[in-house]
Amino acid sequence: MKQKYAYTISIAVVLFLFSFLIPISFAHGAEQAEPPPSISGGAGILIDASTGKVLYEKNAHTRMEPASTTKIMTAILALEKGNLSDVVTTGKQPTLADGTRIYLEEGEQLTLEQMLYGMMLNSGNDAAIAIAEHIGGSVEAFVEMMNEKAREIGAKDTTFVNPNGLPAKGHLTTAYDLALISRYALLNLPEFRKIVSTKTTEIPWQGQEFDRELINLNKLLWNYDGADGVKTGYTSTAGSTLVASATQNGWQLISVILKSDAINVWSDSIALLDYGFTNFKRKNILNGNTLIAEEKVQYGDSIGLLAKASFTTVLPKNSPAFTQKIVINPDIKAPVKKGETLGQVIFYQGNEKLGSVELIAANDVKRKIYTYWWFWIVSLLLIIYTPFRIMVGIRRYKRNKRQVRYVSYMKKYR
């Protein structure tokens, strides 16, 4: 009896331990995604540079002051409208600029490239005005160019009033718009990438025995793995602002923080970048020029449908598998030209649409001649006309033959 009782107790203990340990083992075995960070800045966003996909946002579409992150747009226009070797002559207005400067003097000449380094590394407000006057002819004309470019990029909630970001009524943007503008610059302007990733450099200083030493105000370039841009900002009304970018394992992220303070703007940016690199992965789903389907073509031969471009997206780690849906234009009719868009392949994760790629014709498809309406009319006429011509020909042959015989007969009996 005692042995049976001891055996029952042993079973109970084992079951208790088993029920207690199993959940622990599962909890440790499952890789749980980290929750999004809590940032102290008034607004923030994190996007994938290559696709523009938003990975995190807080008040991302709320209009706020950008401070010196404005200079990202100034740099874009300078690089697109000017030449780096252009000589920029400083007028009077740049020398009157408030805030951070590189201490330009009226009449001082620097190349556009040197002005850009002075503006983007040391955040020279005077350099921004000098660039604006050189590119636009006047600050006012340049500001119009800035706003036009913002609309072109898709930054619809941005209004620029000056080229340097000093406080001005109506000078507003959003975290989302700044991310779009920065992404545009990083993807399209190699010289921009070079400038914003430069830690230190020197440019001439007129009237001095030494050059200007420029030190990039972006601290992340020194203390964050893979940091490669973009621009800091501060005014008393805007607070601390920062557009940051970093590349790890060939994958670049862009973060934006608005309305923060001198300490938290850095920790917020690091938190966003860490969150992105830790919890997401970039996945190449489709390679361009891949054969996706074969489709019948009315009035012609079948045609192959190719992916027009590659498709890469960013997904949470351990996320469910994606699905794809092929949508082909109905009633494809010949003739078809190579490269003509004939459909699309759409990618989903659950109910969320990840994106799509156009499907294009792999080759030309000519229309078969017998599919034209006039072909049958011509064929019918030929069917009717041909026997008629044959009969006429036979009659002529017989008539000619009789004539030949008659002539021969007449010659014989003359």
User: Is 123 a catalytic site residue?
Assistant: yes
Specify the DSSP class assigned to residue 236: T
List of residues 6+ apart from 36 with CB closer than 8 A:
56, 275
Q: Are 66 and 173 a contacting pair, CB within 8 Å?
A: yes
- C-alpha span between 173 and 76 (Å, rounded): 16
User: Is 408 a catalytic site residue?
Assistant: no
Torsion 173-177-183-185 (CA) sign = negative
Alpha helices (runs of H) in 87-204, residue ranges in sequence order: 92-95, 112-120, 125-136, 139-153, 175-188, 190-196
Paired strand residues for 251: 248
User: Is 71 a catalytic site residue?
Assistant: yes
- C-alpha span between 244 and 198 (Å, rounded): 13
- Catalytic pick from 58, 123, 240, 260? 123
Q: What are φ and ψ of residue 170, in 5° steps?
A: 85, -5
Helix axes 71-81, 112-120, angle to 10 degrees: 170
Distances (CA, A) of 330 to 254, 333, 413: 41, 9, 81
- C-alpha span between 381 and 376 (Å, rounded): 8
| Pairing relationship of beta strands 352-361 and 341-349 according to DSSP bridges | antiparallel
How would DSSP label each residue in 67-105? GGGGHHHHHHHHHHHS-TTPEEEP-HHHHT--SS-----
- Catalytic pick from 38, 50, 58, 68? 68
- Catalytic pick from 58, 71, 149, 231? 71
Specify the DSSP class assigned to residue 370: G
Paired strand residues for 361: 305
Helix axes 125-136, 71-81, angle to 10 degrees: 40
Specify the DSSP class assigned to residue 63: -
Tally of CB atoms within 10 A around 235: 19
- C-alpha span between 221 and 270 (Å, rounded): 12
Task: Report the catalytic residues.
Answer: 68, 71, 123
